[in-house]
Structure 1
Amino acid sequence: MTSPTSPRAEREGWIRNWDPENEQAWEGGGKRIAHRNLALSVLSEHIGFSVWSLWSVLVLFMTPEIGFTFTPGEKFLLIVVPTVAGSLLRLPYSRAVTRFGGRNWTLFATAVLLVPASLALYFVHRPGTPLWVFLLIGATAGTGGGNFASSMTNITAFFPQRRQGWALGLNAGGGNLGVAVVQVIGLLVIATAGDTHPAYVVAVYLPLIVAASALAGWKMDNVEAVRTDSGAQREAARSSVTWWVSALYIGTFGSFIGYGFAFGLVLQNEFGSTPLQSAGFTFLGPLLGSVARPGGGWLADRYGGLRVTFWNFVAMAAGTVVLLVASQKHSFALFITGFTVLFVLSGVGNGSTYKLIPFSFARQAEAAITAGQDATEVFTRARRLSGAVIAIAGAVGGLGGAAINLAFRTSYGDGSGSGTPAFLAFLGYYLLCMVLILAVNRREARTPAPAARRPEASRV
């Protein structure tokens, strides 16, 4: 690896011949550069998640007291649109970073967050604004959700294989925390200024977006290693691994982002909670779920990704049953407890499910090497496909969050409904995920394992 701090690299804006697997180059300066880019990537992704989930907070303020008369169904629609937009943007965002470079794309992807933030700031105090305008503004907030895919793809290129789990877990967990932080800011605004000043929540992020954009342009780097051929996502789409992992990720990340966006509205419709009461509980679940994500990866490393994910879905199904009981008994304390546990489990599942991606492709690579193929070639392909699957699974999982919000919208309708139908649908999906894992595990057990791989690693 040539010196990443050479005048030529600085002048052109790209680091050439980046090889994090070279231990001497890594210890001689590569590690410092990778960690600097990781820190700024976490900052950008964190702000992106906050802007993406901004409307989950703003809808709590949109009450008749400040002139808004939107129905519960319309409010749920306001949080569905950013979820869908952010999920769909993950595929082009992942591709864009491989074309324009990590520094360049992070600068753009962070700066563009000024658009949804500025529009929200302007219109949120104009109660005569029709719903369709707010839906368009919410769609622009989806740019914050796209940040995840480009950030993860970029960071994958900076770190050696042995450190990628830690780096990606920290990157994803730091980003997920943005959901909790924006809700804490909403709580602080309601507690100090009252529930009639939603613009204060948005105003906090404008200088942060500017600062993060400036730091990305100043201190981040582009590396040639992030560039891949344009067919990686198409090739990944032909792999069965992509789709069964995506199905599981709907149940884990879809639950995390769907519950995170909808929790405040659910409390208002299920228990008639005030904006202050809702905001007082909505941040805790996303906070704990974000912190639990690296733990899910660690458990998967120790006990096997399929095994951990299977038992995690068993626990999520049990947590959903708790919500059904709490809803029937109208027990606020039990309901909060059940939802908080589900948030933690969704975080654990996020970590363990993503661990299945590199493991599955590494296993295929080992089998190819055993069959006589070139080791460098097959492991390069495995790494390239892993990055593409991360983007696809992230997009599909985000759409799962939109499905959760639509289920709540259908259940609560005009405000006279119950969340029970939605909870039953979630329970059914978690059971389907368990069946899917058993089927995948059975297929894995029938496939001869290469000598370099521990057969028990994928067992449930």
Structure 2
Amino acid sequence: MASPSIPTKDGTWLTRWEPENHVFWETTGKHLAWRTLWITTYSLLLSFIVWFMVSAIVVKLPGVGFKFTSTQLFWLTAMPGLAGGTLRIIWTFLPPILGTRHLVTLSTALLLIPVLGWSYAIQNPSTPYGMLLLLAFLAGIGGGNFSGFMPSTSYFFPKRLQGTALGIQAGIGNFGVSVVQFLTPWVVGFALFASGIVNLGNPQSFTTENGLSSPIWLHNAALVWTLFILVGVVLAWALLKSVPVRANFREQFDIFRDKHTWIMTSLYIATFGSFSGFSAVFALLIRQLYGKFEGAPDPLAFAYLGPLVGSLLRVAFGPLADKVGGAKLTQLSTLGMLVSAVGLSFFVNPASLSQFPYFVGFMLMLFFFAGIGNASTFKQMPMIFDPRKAGGVIGWTSAIAAYGPFVFSVIIAAIIARAGHPTAFFYGVAAFYAINAFLNWYFYARSGAEKPC
């Protein structure tokens, strides 16, 4: 419950919230703000797990009898990104309308739809491809949640703690990508209820490319998250409140008249768009580029490392952004990603498996710098805009950047289909990083910048 000194309307909307008032913050606001952060972060972690569980499942589908082409598999990884970006546009405007309590509760409950749908559909290899595309799209609900959760959490904290709070929430939320990619190979290896008291699905036979077969409970990759989601729904409804920041859809459109909305959108596409895009395709890239060699690596044994690095850096650099400023770190991020993309271009048309360590190394380097930028941009936005607009810009930029998995998957698939390797893609993103490095330096990082932040 909220502190007795903060009355609520209808048990949900706080009648007063003044985080910039030091006395209010220390005596009343701090406890509720941090409680909101941790509960919402738990639900955001689950959201990212659901959003990226498709990328962990897809690499196993051919082994259990699904007859899909490489392009079809890339499209399955692309659909959650398409949905995530589209739904984030809607979720961007919901915090001032629904409030944190109702928004987080409802959004967390919606995660049950793709989780239960995937756990059922992948037990039958004759499930139509169109059905799996629909379920992949519904997994994007998890991606959409980000644009509702992050702005609503930002309302609770003073500006001096925005980088720390949003860095923690987004970083731990991003960690869900690594969680699902790391745990999926483990949870599909046994029955969830070995006692037989509850039958949650029979094992399938998984056949590797060299013909070896073993039992696999692939449906566990989705089903295992059901209980955690239900816990998140209960916590959100029982313990969250909503701050008195209200606005309708039309009033929130004023953010689009500010050029800095569009500059920050580009910067966040470069950082989070890269994080989410490469997270979605990392496993398939390993399979497509290096799977042809004898002794080829297991994609899921490496794919979780990139999101893990990016997530940890986002958490670590949030507090640092509060100390040194977001623009300086964003400059480091964009230049680092530029170097990483150029380096990667030399190892995406491999002649032997000996090049694989360099491919993984440069990919992790790219995730490293993307993680820094994910933290620093979320420090910049609350400094550039007032609280209500900052929330809207955070939601909007997050929405557009969430198309990363869709855009990366589709473009890479098309380039591979045409050229046999994705070298041209990495040239393109390197040029994009260079443009964003200039934009950030000119408007935010240089001496005499228009909006130093």
TM-score range, shorter chain: 0.7 to 0.9
Task: Tell me if structure 1 keeps the 8 A contact 2:88–2:398.
Answer: yes
Aligned equivalents of 1:11, 1:238: Cα separation in 2: 35
Which residue is equivalent to 2:413? 409
Instruction: Identify, as 1 or 2, the structure richer in helix.
Output: 1
Task: Select 2:264's aligned residue among 238, 245, 256.
Answer: 245
Deviation at 1:91, TM superposition (A): 2.4
| TM-score scaled by length of structure 2 | 0.87
Deviations 1:114-156 (A, max 9, x none): 0011111110122112221111111111111111111111111
Aligned equivalents of 2:280, 2:87: Cα separation in 1: 18
Task: Select 1:230's aligned residue among 228, 232, 249.
Answer: 249
Deviations 1:193-246 (A, max 9, x none): 86743211111101111111011111111232x323434531101110011111
Mark the CA change 1:46 to 1:445 in structure 2 (over 3 Å): closer, same or farther.
Answer: same
Task: Tell me if structure 1 keeps the 8 A contact 2:306–2:367.
Answer: yes
Which residue is equivalent to 1:294? 315
2:392 partner SS: helix
Deviation at 1:264, TM superposition (A): 0.5
Aligned equivalents of 2:81, 2:313: Cα separation in 1: 22
Which residue is equivalent to 2:200? none
Which residue is equivalent to 2:64? 66
Query: Is 2:442 aligned against 1:435?
Result: no
Q: How does 1:18-33 map to 2 (within 5 A)?
A: 18-33=17-32
Aligned equivalents of 2:6, 2:307: Cα separation in 1: 44
Q: How does 1:121-140 map to 2 (within 5 A)?
A: 121-140=119-138
Deviation at 1:437, TM superposition (A): 3.0
Task: Tell me if structure 1 keeps the 8 A contact 2:332–2:369.
Answer: no
Task: Tell me if structure 2 keeps the 8 A contact 1:189–1:195.
Answer: no
Which residue is equivalent to 2:164? 166
Query: Is 2:422 aligned against 1:422?
Result: no
Unaligned runs of 5+ in 2: 192-213
Task: Select 1:387's aligned residue among 366, 388, 391.
Answer: 391
Q: How does 1:312-323 map to 2 (within 5 A)?
A: 312-323=333-344
Letter in 1 for 2:66: F
Deviation at 1:20, TM superposition (A): 2.1
Which residue is equivalent to 1:211? 231
Deviation at 1:302, TM superposition (A): 4.5
Mark the CA change 1:300 to 1:446 in structure 2 (over 3 Å): closer, same or farther.
Answer: closer
Q: How does 1:53-452 map to 2 (within 5 A)?
A: 53-63=52-62, 65-189=63-187, 196-224=216-244, 226-272=245-291, 277-329=298-350, 330=352, 331-361=355-385, 382-413=386-417, 417-440=420-443, 445=448
1:17 partner SS: coil
Deviations 1:370-391 (A, max 9, x none): xxxxxxxxxxxx2211111111
How many residues are matched?
Answer: 425
Task: Tell me if structure 1 keeps the 8 A contact 2:349–2:421.
Answer: no
Task: Tell me if structure 1 keeps the 8 A contact 2:159–2:382.
Answer: no
Aligned equivalents of 2:310, 2:54: Cα separation in 1: 20
Mark the CA change 1:181 to 1:218 in structure 2 (over 3 Å): closer, same or farther.
Answer: same
Aligned equivalents of 2:448, 2:11: Cα separation in 1: 50
Deviations 1:278-299 (A, max 9, x none): 1111111101101101344445
Letter in 2 for 1:95: F
Task: Tell me if structure 1 keeps the 8 A contact 2:77–2:405.
Answer: no
Task: Tell me if structure 2 keeps the 8 A contact 1:260–1:285.
Answer: yes
Task: Tell me if structure 1 keeps the 8 A contact 2:328–2:445.
Answer: no
Letter in 2 for 1:23: H
Task: Tell me if structure 1 keeps the 8 A contact 2:52–2:177.
Answer: yes
Aligned equivalents of 1:204, 1:211: Cα separation in 2: 13
Percent identity of the aligned residues? 32
Q: CA RMSD in A?
A: 2.5
